[in-house]
Structure formats: structure tokens, C-alpha cells
Amino acid sequence: MKSLLRRRKQAAEPSDLVVPYWQWHDEELLSAGLLTMARRLPALVAGALRVAWQASRRDTAATLGLNAVAGFFTAFGLLATTGVLESLFAAGPTTDRVLAALPALLVVAAAAGLRAALLAGAGWAQERLKPQVERLAETRLFRLTTEVELTAFDDEEFHNSMQRARDNGVPDSATVVEMTVNVLTGVIGVLSAAVTLGVLHPLLMPLLLVTAVPDGWAALRSARMRYAAFRRVSTARRRKFMLSDLMAERPPAAEVRAFTLRGFLLAEYDRIADVEQRVELDVARQRTKTRVAGDLMGGVALGAVYTALGGMLAAGMVPLAVVGTAVLTIRASQTSLAALVQAVNKLYEAGLYFGDYLDFCELAQRRVPADRGTTAPAGFRRITAESVSFTYPGADAPSLSEVSIAVDRGEVVALVGENGSGKTTLAKLLAGLYAPDSGVVRWDDTDIAGISGKALHDRISVIAQDHTRWPLTALQNITMGRPLDGERLAGAAAASGADEVVARLGRGYETLLDRRFEGGHELSGGQWQRIAIARAFYRDAELMIFDEPTSALDPKAEHALFERIRRHADGRTVLLITHRLSSVRYADRIYVLNRGRVSEQGTHADLVLADGEYARLYELQAAAYREREARPA
């Protein structure tokens, strides 16, 4: 008891929610200085451009090309401004000076108009590019999450990585591309100003660098701080979202009220939210200090630039018209500099999140099963598991140890045992959903490790104990993307009892089975099980695996359903997992699992005569039924 209380106290500490970022693989990235960040930006730009090019070559080329040409007209217009100032600053009557400046003014106006038109076209192409990039990134993510091996979802590292990629990496893929374009646009604007100043006088070019360094330092340092905070509370945010679902979704709503969990859940939510808030307030304070320091240094830098211009004018190094153009150029470049600094800030920050997306894609790709060209034997005679062992990721003990069983074609084979004995895990190994750590599963003489996953799963129906309640129509819940066959649908629905469920629905098979949407309908647990079993029957698979298919049914409905399963499965192979041993009396063979091992096997009669674990469990359930029947009505 003391150890339990100690663990509970430790679990209440914020340390179980904050992930210290120095424990992650990117410690060097988070602790990098300004130069390291600057060195990383070219790789980010290159990566973003590759993604943009994959999404749309035309819009990418238009965005970059039009911005580049617009930069040329920016420089051209600034240089033409020198001619305007020279005419205005020349000796003579004001009217003559204004008339002399008109040709140069017309050139400046034309350059400004062309620049505006080009930037408008570039902006339109950029807006088109953003949704295409986000769709590309999201599609790639879901292609991977639906293809990785099933054990990946039992891995904490994979879960956290997937959460960051989905919640931040995918949305920031479009941000990375957008900010890359903005960075390039800002660079073109600054380069245009730098070229203009270089043409006016070579010593004027370094003045731009003086004004850029303080803002760049503050922006990049601020981005690093925000990303570090995000990584520290990654686990806390995932748990907070899970709690929010518990408090705001329909399935747990009844238990929340029945067990008066409102206070408990709110307290847990507050505890986790407090951790997240403390980290965010801390980073907000640090970022404010950094921003103030950057603004102060920027003001000092700008004052130094104007002082230098005044000194060059006083020393006769440049004429007044050039100084005037330089002042206008520097002031104009401030807009480009501000946009560039802001874009660099957002690019670096979004790039860190986008890096999480790329890291996850790389991680997920390693978890995708290798392409296997072997097909499953046509009309298998026997499925065997030979000395298979399996341990879940992060588990201390194996779920299965040296298990061997055989399932012949056309048989009904049952797996029984107490909770945690390994029944469901063994069924997933036989279905090819998990790969054994050791041992082999064969269809006839073919190792299923060499069979294409899709080819194998197309010939298997699996109805899990925790089957998904798909928010689709009743028809889609049964056919699940397979071509509609009216005769097969009617047979599957009748065999499972789903026809009785559908008959009570307002729109029949077209009824949406989700009350959260208009016109939707919610089913009971037993009704959902009938729909799930109909789904298994509709697939018309050679191997059908039922994991606790009647857990939500009363004994009478359970008996009727098993009779239907036996009739419908005539000639097919059925693997049945259940705790209700009365349902497996007529199985061709029964395997009893105990702590991950096969402890007994045989027919119902054989196992009862053996007077072992199965006989004990069967007698316990039979006694309970006899006691219930003996009670007075």
C-alpha cells in the first residue's frame, strides 16, 4: 500500500507531463546559436521548395519567377529616383527643375506599376499553392499511418511523433512553403536595395547589414524558445486532448455522470493545463525580453546608419542627391527587412515543426512492412502457428511464449482462457496483423511473413472485441468499401441478425449510424455487434476470426447467433475467441491459453474429462447458470 501511495504521489508531479527537450534527439538543434540557425535555413528553403514543386510546378514557378522580376523593377525604380532628385536639387527655377524631373518620375511610376502587377500575380499563385501543399503533406501522412505495421500503434515514441506531425507538422507544411516564398521575396527586396546602394557608392552597402543583424538575432532566438516549449509539453498536450474527449464526447458521457467523474476529470485537466500554462508563460516572458533587446539594438543601429550618411555627405564623398536616394532606399528596405525578419522567424519556427513531420515520415517509413510478392495459397488446407512468441513494445513480459496450434480448413476452432492469456494476440498473429518475434505462422507450407499484407487480409475477416463503430451508413458499415452485391448483403444481414437491426432504422441501410450528425442514429452494443458480424460475413473470407462476438448479447441471443455463425460458416474456417464456454461446446477443437502458453487442447468432451483448467472454468460458468435458473421467479 505504501508503494502504491508513493507511485500515486509521483504521478501527481508535473514531471510526468513535461518532456525535457534535452532528452530528445534534436538537443543540438534546440540549443543552437544564431549561426547554426542561419546555416539551417538553406536546407529548410530547399526542402520547402521540393515540397512545393511536387504539389504544383506551375504555381511554384510562377510565384518565384514573378517575385524575382518584381525585384528587378524595385531596383530599377530606386535607381531612377536618383535622376528625379538630381533634377530637383539642381540650380534654376522650380518650374524648370520639376519639368526636368518628369521623365525620371514617369520611369519610377512605370516601374512601380509593373512591380505591383507582378507581385499581385505572384500572390495569386502563392495562395493557390498553399492548399495543394497541405493536401500533399496530409495525404502522405495518412498513407503512412494506414500502412505501418500494427505494433507501431503500441509504441509510445511512434504515438508522440505522429501526434506532433499531425497537429503541427501538416498545417505548418503550407506555412513553411509560404514563409519560404516570403523569405525569398524579402531577400530579393533587400538585394534590390543593396544593389541600388552599391551602384550609388560601394561603401553604402554594408549599412544595410548593420540594420538587419539585431532584428534577425531577436527573431530567430524567439523562434527557438517557442519550439523548445512546444517539445517540452508535447506529452501533456496529448493527454489534455484525451481528457477533453472524455468530457465532451458521447460514448463516455453516461459513465462520467454515473460515477460522478466530473470533479476528477476537471481536476486532472487543470493539473495538466497548469503545467502547459507555466511553460507557456515562462517562454512568453523570455521572448518579450528578447524582443525588447532586439528593438533597442535596432534603434541604435539605425541611428548609426544615419550618422554615417551624414558624415559621408559632410566629407564630400557623395552628392546630396545620392544621399537622398540612399535614405529613401534604406527606408524602403526597412519594409523588406521587416518582412524578411518576420518571414525568417516564422520559417524557422514552422520549419522545426515541419521537421517533426519529416522525422515522423521517416520513422513511419521504417515501420512499413517490406513489399512481399508471395500470394496466399489458393484454398489452404491448414493454418499453423509453430512455436510463436510475441512481446508488445515496452512490455516487460511476452504475451505469447512458444505457442503452437493448427486450424484445418472448414473447422471451428476456439481459443479460451482468462483475460490476458494471449488469445487476441494469437489471433492477430494468425491474421498477419502482428509478426511473431520468433516462430512462424504458415498457410499450408507458406510462411505468411512472405505474403503480401493486402493479399493475405483480403482472404480474412476479423471482428475484434473492440470493433470500430464507423460513423458511416448501415450499408457502408457492412460492405466497407467492397462492391455492392445485393444477394450477399441479404445473406450476411440475415445470418448475423443485422437485418432486424436495419429494419428498425428510419432510412434502412442508408441510415447514418452516428447521432452527432443530422439524421444520424445510435445503436446499442448488441446491435453494433450484429452489424460487425454482418461485415465479416459480407467479406466472404476463407478464414473468419471472431473475438468475443457476443459479449453485448444476452444468452438467448448469443445462442441463436452462434447457431447462425455455424450455419453460415459451413465450409469456411472459423477461429472463435470467447469467455462463454457454453458457446464452444461444438467446436472441432479448443485451445486453452494460460499466461501466454497453450495449457490444454482437444474437444469439449476431452477437456471436461481431463478435469483441468478448461473443466474448472466450464464448471464455474455452468454452476452460475444453474444457480440463476434455480432462483424463484
Helix (H) or strand (E) holding 86: helix 57-89
Residue 627 — pLDDT band, cuts 50, 70, 90? low
Three-state DSSP state, 287 = helix
What total of structural domains would you count in the chain?
Answer: 2
Q: Which of 83-97, 317-331, 344-358 has the lowest mean pLDDT?
A: 83-97
Q: Give the 3-state secondary structure of 301-329.
A: HHHHHHHHHHHHHHCCCCCHHHHHHHHHH
In a domain, 593, yes or no: yes
In a domain, 487, yes or no: no
What cell was used for 393? Answer: 513494445
The chain-wide mean pLDDT, for the chain, equals 79
DSSP structure class, residue 584: G
In a domain, 80, yes or no: yes
Query: For the chain, percent helix, then strand, then coil, each to nearest 5?
Result: 70, 10, 25
What's residue 455's pLDDT? Answer: 77
pLDDT beyond 90 at 390: yes
Residue 84 — pLDDT band, cuts 50, 70, 90? low
* Highest-confidence segment of 81-95, 155-169, 548-562: 155-169
Q: What's the whole-number mean pLDDT along residues 111-122?
A: 84
pLDDT beyond 90 at 277: no
Q: Which of 431-440, 457-466, 535-544, 590-599 has the lowest mean pLDDT?
A: 457-466
Residue 446 — pLDDT band, cuts 50, 70, 90? confident
Shared-domain flag, residues 405 and 291? no
Shared-domain flag, residues 259 and 398? no
Shared-domain flag, residues 205 and 270? yes
Do 218 and 294 touch, CB atoms closer than 8 A? Answer: yes
Antiparallel, parallel or unpaired: β 589-594 and 597-602? antiparallel
32 class by beta-carbon count within 10 Å (0-12 exposed, 13-18 middle, 19+ buried): middle
> Which residues, at least 6 apart from 407, have a Cβ–Cβ distance to it below 8 Å?
382, 383, 384, 413, 430, 543, 573, 575
Higher pLDDT, 377 or 504: 504
- Residues of the domain holding 302: 20-366
Do 475 and 510 touch, CB atoms closer than 8 A? Answer: yes
Shared-domain flag, residues 438 and 330? no
Antiparallel, parallel or unpaired: β 589-594 and 412-416? parallel
pLDDT beyond 50 at 25: no
38 class by beta-carbon count within 10 Å (0-12 exposed, 13-18 middle, 19+ buried): middle
598 class by beta-carbon count within 10 Å (0-12 exposed, 13-18 middle, 19+ buried): buried
Shared-domain flag, residues 279 and 316? yes
Question: How many other C-beta atoms can be found within 10 angstroms of the C-beta atom of residue 352?
Answer: 26
Q: What's the whole-number mean pLDDT along residues 514-533?
A: 84
Q: How many whole angstroms separate alpha carbon 526 and alpha carbon 510?
A: 20
Q: How many whole angstroms separate alpha carbon 441 and alpha carbon 470?
A: 30
Q: What's the whole-number mean pLDDT along residues 601-618?
A: 87
Shared-domain flag, residues 110 and 46? yes
What's residue 91's pLDDT? Answer: 54
Higher pLDDT, 91 or 76: 76
pLDDT beyond 80 at 35: no
DSSP structure class, residue 374: B
In a domain, 386, yes or no: yes
Q: How many whole angstroms separate alpha carbon 151 and alpha carbon 158?
A: 10
In a domain, 473, yes or no: no
Do 350 and 134 touch, CB atoms closer than 8 A? Answer: no
Higher pLDDT, 309 or 572: 572
Q: Identify any residues that bridge with 383 across adjacent strands, giving them in sequence order.
A: 407, 443
Three-state DSSP state, 407 = strand
The CATH number given to whatever domain includes residue 329 is 1.20.1560.10
Q: How many whole angstroms separate alpha carbon 276 and alpha carbon 233?
A: 6
* Highest-confidence segment of 3-7, 42-46, 370-374, 626-630: 42-46
Q: How many whole angstroms separate alpha carbon 598 and alpha carbon 384?
A: 14
Q: What's the whole-number mean pLDDT along residues 449-454?
A: 78
Residue 447 — pLDDT band, cuts 50, 70, 90? confident
Q: Which of 111-125, 240-254, 554-568 has the lowest mean pLDDT?
A: 554-568
What's residue 23's pLDDT? Answer: 38
What's residue 456's pLDDT? Answer: 80
pLDDT beyond 90 at 39: no
End-to-end CA distance of the chain: 44
Q: What's the whole-number mean pLDDT along residues 579-589?
A: 80
Is the torsion defined by CA of 468, 473, 475, 480 positive or negative? negative
Q: Is the pTM of this model over 0.75?
A: no
Percent share of the chain, pLDDT over 70: 80
Q: What's the whole-number mean pLDDT along residues 348-361?
A: 82
Residue 79 — pLDDT band, cuts 50, 70, 90? low
Final residue belonging to a domain, choices 336, 366, 396 = 366
Q: How many whole angstroms separate alpha carbon 542 and alpha carbon 460?
A: 6
What's residue 216's pLDDT? Answer: 67
State the Cα angle at 182 between 176 and 187, rounded to 5°: 125
pLDDT beyond 80 at 209: no
Three-state DSSP state, 545 = strand
Final residue belonging to a domain, choices 366, 396, 428 = 366
Helices (runs of H) and strands (runs of E) counted in the chain: 21, 10
pLDDT beyond 50 at 29: no
Do 550 and 557 touch, CB atoms closer than 8 A? Answer: yes
Shared-domain flag, residues 429 and 357? no
What's residue 28's pLDDT? Answer: 42
What cell was used for 626? Answer: 444453474
Residue 304 — pLDDT band, cuts 50, 70, 90? confident
In a domain, 427, yes or no: yes
For residues 250, 468, 482, 430, the Cα torsion angle rounded to the nearest 10 degrees is 180
φ, ψ of residue 33 in degrees (nearest 5): -90, -175
Three-state DSSP state, 438 = strand
What's residue 9's pLDDT? Answer: 45
Do 537 and 491 touch, CB atoms closer than 8 A? Answer: yes
Q: Which of 72-76, 266-270, 361-365, 372-376 has the lowest mean pLDDT?
A: 372-376
Q: What's the whole-number mean pLDDT along residues 413-431?
A: 88
In a domain, 374, yes or no: no
Q: Identify any residues that bridge with 589 across adjacent strands, giving them in sequence order.
A: 413
Question: How many other C-beta atoms can be found within 10 angstroms of the C-beta atom of residue 406?
Answer: 15
What cell was used for 469? Answer: 463503430
Q: How many whole angstroms separate alpha carbon 64 and alpha carbon 250?
A: 49
Q: How many whole angstroms separate alpha carbon 416 and alpha carbon 613?
A: 10
What cell was used for 74? Answer: 524595385
pLDDT beyond 70 at 403: yes
Q: Which of 74-83, 125-134, 313-322 has the lowest mean pLDDT?
A: 74-83
Three-state DSSP state, 247 = helix
The CATH number given to whatever domain includes residue 612 is 3.40.50.300
What's residue 440's pLDDT? Answer: 92
Q: Which of 257-271, 518-532, 557-571 has the lowest mean pLDDT?
A: 557-571
Please compute Rg for the chain using Cα positions: 35
pLDDT beyond 80 at 378: no
pLDDT beyond 80 at 503: yes
Shared-domain flag, residues 264 and 410? no
What's residue 90's pLDDT? Answer: 56
Q: What's the whole-number mean pLDDT along residues 572-598?
A: 85
What's residue 11's pLDDT? Answer: 44
Residue 80 — pLDDT band, cuts 50, 70, 90? low
In the sheet that holds 400-408, the strands lie side by side as 400-408, 382-390, 438-443, 446-447
Three-state DSSP state, 387 = strand
In a domain, 518, yes or no: no
Q: How many whole angstroms separate alpha carbon 593 and alpha carbon 595?
A: 7
Three-state DSSP state, 352 = helix
Closest CA to 590 of 432, 448, 412: 412
Do 269 and 312 touch, CB atoms closer than 8 A? Answer: no
Three-state DSSP state, 297 = helix
Shared-domain flag, residues 298 and 385? no
Do 463 and 545 touch, CB atoms closer than 8 A? Answer: yes
Higher pLDDT, 104 or 503: 503
pLDDT beyond 70 at 81: no
Shared-domain flag, residues 324 and 408? no
Shared-domain flag, residues 405 and 357? no
Q: How many whole angstroms separate alpha carbon 347 and alpha carbon 223?
A: 9
356 class by beta-carbon count within 10 Å (0-12 exposed, 13-18 middle, 19+ buried): buried
Q: How many whole angstroms separate alpha carbon 534 and alpha carbon 48?
A: 47
Final residue belonging to a domain, choices 366, 395, 416 = 366
Q: Which of 344-353, 409-418, 427-436, 440-449 has the lowest mean pLDDT?
A: 344-353
State the Cα angle at 72 between 190 and 133, rounded to 5°: 75
Q: How many whole angstroms separate alpha carbon 544 and alpha carbon 462?
A: 6
Shared-domain flag, residues 398 and 448? yes
* Highest-confidence segment of 254-268, 295-309, 398-412, 562-576: 398-412
